[in-house]
Amino acid sequence: MKYIVSSEEMKRYDKNTTKVYNVPEIVLVEQAAGAMVNELSNLLSKTNTKLNIEINKKPILVVCGIGNNGADGVAVARLLNEKGYEAVVCIITDKQIENSSESFRLELGIYKSYGYKVNDGSLVESLYSDYQNGIPCKYSVIIDGMFGVGLSRDIEGLYYDVIKRLNVLEALKISIDIPSGISSTTGAVLNIAFKADYTYTFSFSKLGHFLWPGVDYCGNVIICDIGITTKSFLDSPPEFRFLEKKDLELLPQRTRNTNKGSYGKVLVIAGNRNMAGAAIFSALAAYKMGCGLVRIFTNEINRNIIQSVLPEAVLVTYTQTEEIETLLQKNLSWADSVVLGPGLGVGETSKEIVKLVIANTDCPTVIDADALNIISYNDDIKEMIKEVTIVQNKIFIFTPHLGELSRLLKVDINEIKENIVNFSKKVADEYRVICVSKDAHTVVCDSCGINYLNLSGCEGLATAGSGDVLTGIIASLLGQKMDPNFATALGVYLHGLAGECASRDTTASVMARDIANAIKIILKEIRY
Ligand SMILES: NC(=O)C1=CN([C@@H]2O[C@H](COP(=O)(O)OP(=O)(O)OC[C@H]3O[C@@H](n4cnc5c(N)ncnc54)[C@H](O)[C@@H]3O)[C@@H](O)[C@H]2O)[C@@H](O)CC1
Ligand SMILES: Nc1ncnc2c1ncn2[C@@H]1O[C@H](COP(=O)(O)OP(=O)(O)O)[C@@H](O)[C@H]1O
Ligand SMILES: [K+]
Mind listing the pLDDT tens digit for each residue in 481-504?
999 999 999 999 999 999 999 999
Residue 45 pLDDT grade (very low, low, confident, very high; cuts 50, 70, 90)? confident
Q: How far is the CA of 72 from the centre of ligand 3 (A)?
A: 9
Whether 250 maps to a domain, the answer reads no
- Note whether 153 and 297 are same-domain residues: no
Question: Is 266 in the same domain as 187?
Answer: no
Ligand nearest to the CA of 405: 2
Closest residue CA from atom 9 of ligand 2: 462
Q: What confidence score (pLDDT) does residue 49 get?
A: 58
- Mean pLDDT across 117-140: 96
pLDDT higher than threshold 90 for residue 51:
no
- Are residues 185 and 331 located together in one domain of the fold? no
Q: Which residues touch 38 (CB under 8 Å, ≥6 apart)?
A: 224
CB burial string 450-483: b at 16+ within 10 A, e below: bbbbbbbbbebbebebbbbbbbbbbbbbbbbebe
Are 220 and 325 in a shared domain? Answer: no
Q: Establish if 347 belongs to a structural domain.
A: yes
Q: What is the pLDDT of residues 382-405, one digit of tens each?
A: 999 999 999 999 999 999 999 999
Same domain, 182 and 319: no
Q: Is position 281 within any domain?
A: yes
125 and 272 assigned to the same domain: no
Per-residue confidence band for 53, with pLDDT thresholds at 50, 70 and 90: low
Helices 379-386 and 348-360: angle between axes, nearest 10 degrees: 10
pLDDT given for residue 50 in this prediction: 56
Mutate which of 401, 456, 463 to test ligand 2's pocket (most atoms within 8 Å of Cβ)? 401
* Residue 153 annotated as binding site: yes
What pLDDT is recorded for position 97?
A: 87
Question: Is pLDDT of 238 > 60?
Answer: yes
ipTM exceeding the 0.90 mark: yes
* Percent of the residues in the chain that have a pLDDT greater than 90, as a whole number: 95
pLDDT digits (tens, 9 = 90+) for 446-487: 999 999 999 999 999 999 999 999 999 999 999 999 999 999
Q: Return the ligand number nearest the Cα of 159.
A: 1
- The reply to whether 255 falls in a domain is no
- Give the number of the atom of ligand 2 that is nearest the alpha carbon of residue 457: 4
Question: Which pLDDT score is estimated for 486?
Answer: 98
- Mind giving me the DSSP string for 141-200? EEEEES-STT--S---HHHHHHHHHHHHS-SEEEEESS-TTB-TTT--B-S-----SEEE
> For the residues 356-378, what does the mean pLDDT come to?
98
Domain boundary among 203, 238, 273: 238
- Is 290 within a domain? yes
Q: Which residues line ligand 1 (CB under 6 A)?
A: 14, 18, 25, 28-29, 32, 65, 67-70, 72, 101, 147-155, 159, 176-177, 202
> Is residue 164 part of an annotated ligand binding site?
no
**SS3 assignment, position 138:** coil
Asked whether residue 24 is domain-assigned, the answer is yes
Instruction: Confirm or deny that 510 is annotated as ligand binding.
Output: no
In a domain, 249, yes or no: no
In this structure, the answer to whether residues 227 and 269 fall within a common structural domain is no
Q: Which domain holds residue 368?
A: 261-525
Same domain, 275 and 133: no
Q: How confident is the model at residue 216 (pLDDT cuts 50, 70, 90)?
A: very high
Query: CB–CB of 480/343 below 8 Å?
Result: no
CATH number of the domain enclosing 126: 3.40.50.10260
Give the tens place of pLDDT for each residue, 292-311.
999 999 999 999 999 999 99
Q: How confident is the model at residue 3 (pLDDT cuts 50, 70, 90)?
A: very high
Do both 327 and 397 map to the same domain? yes
Whether 474 and 399 have beta carbons less than 8 Å apart is answered as: yes
Mutate to test the pocket of ligand 1, among 68, 95, 99, 207 (most ligand atoms within 8 A of CB): 68
- The SS3 call for residue 234 is coil
Does 156 have pLDDT greater than 90?
Answer: yes
Tally of domains within the chain = 2
pLDDT over 90 (residue 322): no
